[in-house]
Amino acid sequence: MEIYVAQHAGFCFGVERAVKIVRNAAGEYKNLYTLGPIIHNPQLVNELKSQGVDVAESTDDLSEGSTVVLRSHGVEKQELNILAKKNIHIVDATCPYVNKAHSEAVNLSKDGYFVVIFGEKDHPEVKGIASYIEGEYTIVSSPEEAYNIDFREKIGVVAQTTQEKAVFDKIVDILRNRCRELKISNTICNATTLRQNAARKVAEMVEVMFVVGGKNSANTRRLYKICSEICEKTFHIETKEEIDKSVLIGVNKVGVTAGASTPKNIIDDVIEYLNGVNNGRE
């Protein structure tokens, strides 16, 4: 059985940076929290917990004297205000690309554009982008929803950094007929596109595909969706323990990819397991 690993898989720049910031902060601060899990990966969250980094589910869980690390996908403006009022020390690990999406959306709004955010309505990054906009905006999660937007003079469109470029392009095409002036700000991060293209390439070559990452990780779920459209036997797993060995019977080519929030050791474990199946160890 040949094992193909996507050329771009696992931690992206922003996640790598955020995890590093938390690890450094763990040695420096007591009463240290992240506002929500630092990444959508339960294994890493547990490891950080053992180093004294707790997860605050909301700003209500934080009190004066504590330090909070802001996650790579940023926070809402209202949350920042609450943290300032409560006098909580902030270590900001927001990815610079997410900050860029914030500022693009704000600038479009200031310039009089009705802002369309392409993203998942309940995702913290999207809520964050929306919270900085002072004018009118809407969030669409699919081309179908873009059809429902009323005609406007000026529309400006931005995207959640982890969205798929091809879908963004479809939405942009629909919006062209929904306004007189369209301003496009493609805030999709290169890391996402690289991971999606690399995953597609592997999925096309194999009979079974494993997408490794947190079940609550939006970008891992999207990789799973992309791969499962190409390779029927695609499985979303968090760790090697979830691999059902029977799906590998008679398989000659297996593929592996991983979301941007999947630590390297977890991907390596999966590859090692597959190698083990190959030589009869597993």
Q: Which residues are catalytically annotated? A: 125
DSSP state of 64: T
99: annotated binding-site residue?
no
Interface pick for ligand SF4 out of 5, 6, 8, 14 (rule CB under 6 A): 14
Question: Is 217 annotated as ligand-binding?
Answer: yes
Residue 148 CB partners (closer than 8 Å, separation 6+): none
> Is 227 one of the annotated binding-site residues?
no
Fill in the per-residue mask, 23 to 52: x = in contact with ligand SF4 (CB under 6 A), - = not in contact: ------------------------------
Contact region with ligand SF4 (CB under 6 A), list: 11-19, 26-34, 129-137, 140-148: 11-19
One-letter identity of residue 116: V
Distance (Å, whole) CA 65 – CA 35: 15
Known binder of ligand: residue 123? yes
Q: What is the arrangement of strands in the sheet containing 114-118, beginning at the earlier edge strand?
A: 137-140, 114-118, 152-159, 179-184
Considering the complex, state which of residue 10 and residue 156 has its C-beta at the smaller distance from ligand SF4.
Answer: 10
Residues binding ligand SF4: what is the number (CB under 6 A)?
14
CB of 148 to ligand SF4, least distance (A): 28
The yes or no reply on residue 260 touching ligand SF4 (CB under 6 A) is yes
Contact 163, 192 (CB under 8 A): yes
Please pick, from the candidates 5, 6, 9, 12, the single residue that binds ligand SF4 as defined by CB under 6 A: 12
d(CA 79, CA 86): 11
Tokens of 67: 């330090």
Rule CB under 6 A: is residue 196 a binding residue for ligand SF4? no
Nearest residue relative to ligand SF4 (C-beta) = 14
- Check whether 95 is labelled as a binding-site residue: yes
* Beta-carbon contacts of residue 81 (< 8 Å; ≥ 6 apart): none
The only residue of 1, 4, 13, 230 in contact with ligand SF4, by rule CB under 6 A: 13
**CB of 9 closer than 8 Å to CB of 198:** yes
- Alpha-carbon distances of 150 from 2, 79, 154, rounded to whole Å: 51, 31, 11
**What is the distance between the alpha carbons of residues 70 and 55, in angstroms, rounded to a whole number?**
11
For the record, the structure tokens of 59 come out as: 């700003």
Among residues 91, 110, 85, which one has the least CA distance to residue 29? 91
* Of residues 188 and 206, the one with the C-beta less far from ligand SF4: 188
Consecutive H or E run containing 18? helix 13-28
Shortest Cβ distance from residue 39 to ligand SF4 (Å)? 9
Q: Say if residue 58 carries a ligand binding annotation.
A: no
| Known binding-site residue numbers | 12, 40, 73, 95, 123, 161, 189, 217, 219, 261
Give contact residues for ligand SF4 (rule: CB under 6 A). Answer: 12-15, 72, 95, 97-98, 161-162, 189, 191-192, 260
| Known binding-site residue numbers for [4Fe-4S] cluster | 12, 95, 189
| Known binding-site residue numbers for isopentenyl diphosphate | 40, 73, 123, 217, 219, 261
